Amino acid sequence: MKLLAPISLSLGVVVFSTTAFQPSFSFTPSQRAPRTKVSPVVLHQEGKGSFSLANLFGESGSPGPSLRGSKNLEPHPSVRPHISPLNRLGPDEKKEVKSEPLPFHPNVKSGTLPNGLPYVILPNKSPPGRFEAHLQVFSGSADELEPQQGIAHLTEHVAYMGSRKRELLFGTGSQTNAYTDFHHTVFYAICPNTTPRTNIPMLPMALDALVDVMEARVESSRLEKERAAVLSEMTMVNTIEYRVECQILSTLHRENRLAKRFPIGKEPLIQSWQTDDVKSWHRTHYRPDNVLLYLVGDVDAEEAEKVIAEKFGRLSAEKQGAEIKIPDIKAQAKDLADAVVGGTVKAAGSWHYPPVRHDWNIAKDMDVDEKLIIPKDQLEYDIDLQNSYPLDEEVTFLQTDEVAPGKNIRPHIFRHELLQSFSMHLFAKRPVEAIIDLDSFRKSLARRVALAALQIRLNVGGRSDDPAFTFVEFNQLDSAREGCAVCSLDLTAEPHKWKDAICKSLSEIRKLGVHGVTMGEMERYASSLMTDAEQLAAQGDRIEHGDQLSYLMETVANGHTFMSPEQSYYMTSKALSSLTVEDVNAAAAELCSHVMSFKEGEDPVDGSVIAVACLPKGLDEDDPAYCDEDSLVKTIYEACQQEVEPEEDVVVPFTLVPEDELAKSMEENPPDWLGGQFTDGTPSTAPDTITRPFTLRRLGNGIRIGVNQNPHESQRGHLRLVAPGGRDAEKRLGFKKGSMAIGARTMQEGGAFGPWTREQVELFCVDHLLMVEITCSEESITVDFVFPTTNVGNVGFGDDVQLGITGTESVMQVVREIIVGFKWEEDALGRSKSSFRGTHESMLKNLENLSTEKIMEAMTADDERFLSIDVDEVNAITLDDAKNAVMSQMSPGNLEISISGDFEVAEVMEMVYKYIGTIPAESNKEFLVEELPADVKGAAVSSVPNLPLPGKFVELELPDSDPRAVAYVSGSAPNAWGYLADGKTVSEIILEKDKRASEYDTSRRKHPLFARIALLLLSEIFNRRLFSNVRERKQLTYDANFSFTGFERLMGGWFLVTVTASKENAQKALEACKETLHNLRKTNPITPDNAESAKRVVLNRHEFSLRTTQYWTEQMSGLQEESVPLKGPLSFTDFQAVVEAITVKDLQLVLETMGLDDDELYTAIGKTVKPEGVEEPEEELVRQAPVIGMRRGGALTG
């Protein structure tokens, strides 16, 4: 059970996340389905008039035709005529278009049942044999009344966790979850089409579970369990990041009810509610006209419509209304419903939006729908919650500074002892602009080109050896959860550089707004958009259900047109063919208008700019790091007075490795293929044969190569370069502590190759859509690339296009240069060290991270390989230290390259042959060093240290104004492949214990994959038991999680149980976790059902992951490494067979290889304590719980 999103609260694992600019579409507007009438479903048909609730309940809201269970019942008190939630997919959406309308997805089918319940069906074949059903209730925390704060989230828990029909989905390979946000509550079921083995259709079962949500029984026993879970969740999420986002959102939305209606709610209210309170909320909002059912997957649309009608057709708003038992709540809900339709963006723009109004920040000549300009005092009812109420927190976020006539900034400063850096968040709120025709689509593309140009300028040009900011992002995103588009500047900086960071970022924004983009930028980012649209079109119906669903939900919510990938590609080509630099510059000027308007002499815009700064507490006023509201406003205003010059184009290389240079290398270092060699018993492969599912070979220079063709991610690929060693090698070879990790980060921050500067190389990567990430773990340096497999870096469109090289070839060039041509630069080292200093300082102020560090210190006897790098150690690293450490691992004989993608294997092997095979075998030999003697290293080579016994209890206190606690239970465990720290294997140990094992069992347990599969299954079983015991039965926590460290190259490892709880329950939760571990061995051992359920989860995850190129490269890495002796081709070919063959007895025996005895356990509790000088609030003051941490733009994974 984890957090879903910024503010969104969820029951469990999360679905999707958003990012800022990337060349992929944030939405895929879509098309109407063929109109076919299927009784008793009322489908939307062209020309038949608009849908509204007035058609169902009468123009005045009186009942229409009686529905089952609704005879002689009064109308529901909250039902009002309103626009269809289907928006562009609905029949009443007749919005005029100014140009060629965008086409609707041809396969989408939408309709509305006679009871008013709308639905959308999108048949989708990827992955085959599965579907997702999502029920969206258009009521969230923003719809709560004063005495209901937090009840939407609690009801979500009660409704789904209490569903008996949801429980029938367990053990079928299904995933169910729910989450609550400002504007909605969503329940979903992700299922196979049929049950395992019995082949019973699962769509009716999944819809039964969602109907059960609509008819939820509110039982007192379930209410108490979920009350405890929600109260524990309040503690768990209350991190400093959480509190920062609370401050940001409270300030951003201070003029409406979002500032006072966070989903987590108010603790005293949550503690007080009884079943009638929850049931009243449920019956008020869970009604047919206030939901939307999405069904995406491998389904037949017409058959699915029949099942939807059968399952949901019996629901009735009147029946729900009759079960609202609290008269006062019923009356208040009626008043709120009147106000919602009387003056909110929910009624005027989209029923998906929260019931709010906004103070827009818009240019005076901007064309805005008049319905969205809602006067502040339009209603007598205080729907914006601007009055004071008993449960309010004391806040003063409405101060607005007029820096010049008509030019306003709303500032807010948040100081906290846990903050280590300065951050600033500058916002302008604008109406969402529907993307429904060619003109609006072209404008959205122009905006994306402008945003891309600015972000790359900030990222590439804004870096130096002493950068003004450590992070910066400028974006504008449509946010259905807030009912607006938010243009945001987010930056972080070292506290004493805050003024420079603001000046630098605002100067770049003004430069874009005033001078626009260069022709080179125009071509670069327009080409990227075209390439991305082409990739999506090529993927077609292979786009995963979850991705399709997220596009669908977001586009429907914001009133955009949902197109198929093919239609989107066609319209993108058409729009870009007529897109001019003037169009892009006009979009840039509009994006930046709120910043540009502060320049003296420029016209003001309507509305205020919101500025929130967050910084460490306790700074003196004469400290350069000190910032208050006045100095923040002054700095912003003065930064906008700077004169700006146009951007100059940078010459970007067409290729990093010229043909003549490559030909010379082929002549001087002729490449050669050798067969693949393995240590898992698989015979060596031939050097000249392409095999399935992967081709595994070695080059003559020693580099191991694995290539897999994966068509599921069309025109995309993933490459992983692994250099075994990491921080373990750092210690074994006697390098300075931290030099390997800081060196890897220096490579990430750098990028100059051969004759090319870092800026040229980074723009080459941008042109070719390459994403690169370089990391250092305890056991390896890893370089990951994501790339397109088609021609990229193209110039022009249509017949005039000039093709660049393929993304596959460009990634080969970058890999080659990383190994043999990388330039180490002081400014890159400076940025790397700054990042590590910030990470360490943040760790010291983070309860979870600091507690983990302390228990790791105890378990490893301060082994530096597994601990953070402190500031003094960071400062001691020189460029030579970093370079020598990393390059010592870059010897060709130490490297392995794994590649997966939508390409022809033979073509890729030829590129590998040319670019990688011509790297001399002796490259980087000058950096090779000998290992230290064992008595100097102080630890066994390539293994974790033995746990000092007996185990210890570690207690930690961290100053913090809010009470929080976290507990840990840890002990020894095998590594991912079953090796223990002493070199023995799991298979060897259990064969010694089970002397009577049959020949068959002995053979199974000797399989190289046996221990890996057993540990995967145990992890699932542990987590399920922890949930059942610690959360469900004992009600001590919202979430308890079990995990293995999962080392592959280091022998041995640890398990770790993490549990969050209140300070009062932390010790009890820790003991409950220990009890769960012990019971699994003794009093409550693993059952066949436990094992079967875990197998379904592991197999489904593996099957799904095989569709991704990243998973293939992760799994291929190590197949030819001697340092991972049990990993080889059998780990792929025999995966399902080994899973199915594992028995309960196998799992119980593997349990015994873990350090689970009391004297082997290490435990820890981290708690916060009040900082000195902080006074307790008065008892009658009810504190507003902060909002779930978020980034602009929508739900993120928790």
Active site residues: 156, 226
**Alpha helices (H) in 300-379, listed in sequence order:** 301-312, 317-322, 327-342, 345-348
Which residue shows structure tokens 């919602």? Answer: 340
- Helix axes 879-887 and 826-843, enclosed angle (nearest 10): 90
| Identity of residue 36 | T
Separation of alpha carbons 594 and 609, rounded Å = 7
Task: Write the DSSP assignment of 999-1034 as a string of letters.
Answer: HHHHHHHTSTTHHHHHHHHHHHHHHHHHIIIIIIIS
Centroid of chain to Cα 915:
35
Q: How far apart are CA 153 and CA 636, in angstroms?
A: 38
List of residues 6+ apart from 985 with CB closer than 8 A: 974, 978, 979, 1011, 1126
Token pair listed for 568: 């989107």
CA–CA separation, 192 and 1097 (whole Å):
12
CB atoms within 10 A of CB 641: 12
In angstroms, what CA-CA distances link 1004 with 696, 1001, 1046, 1093, 1142?
26, 5, 22, 21, 8
Count the neighbouring beta carbons within 10 Å of the beta carbon of residue 1197: 14
Q: What is the DSSP string of 93-142?
A: -----SSSBPPPPTT-EEEE-TTS-EEEEEE--SSTTEEEEEEEES--GG
Q: 3-class DSSP state for residue 686?
A: coil
In our burial notation (b when 16+ CB lie closer than 10 A, e otherwise), range 730-739 reads bbbbebbbbb
Among candidate residues 1142, 32, 1134, the one with its CA nearest the CA of residue 562: 32
Give me 183's structure tokens.
């504007």
Cis preceding-peptide flag for 724 (omega within 30 of 0): no
Report which of 858, 1070, 856 is spatially closest to residue 965, judged by C-alpha positions.
1070
Question: Cis peptide leading into 711, omega within 30 of 0?
Answer: no
DSSP 540-573: GGGS-HHHHHHHHHHHHHTT-----HHHHHHHHH
Query: What gap in Å lies between CA 475 and CA 879, rounded to an integer?
Result: 35
Q: What are phi and psi of 611, to 5 degrees?
A: -130, 125
Alpha carbon 935 to its chain centroid, in Å, reads: 45
Give CA–CA dist 856/1060, Å, rounded. Answer: 18
CA end-to-end distance (rounded Å), the chain: 9
634 Cβ contact list (under 8 Å, min separation 6): none
The string of DSSP codes covering 502-528 is HHHHHHHHHHHHHH---HHHHHHHHHH
Q: Specify the pairing of strand 965-973 against strand 673-675.
A: unpaired
- Closest to 21 (Cα-Cα) out of 594, 523, 474, 446: 474
927 DSSP assignment: G
Cis peptide leading into 77, omega within 30 of 0?
no
Alpha-carbon distance 807 to 899, whole Å? 13
Task: Give the C-alpha separation, 879 to 886, whole Å.
Answer: 11
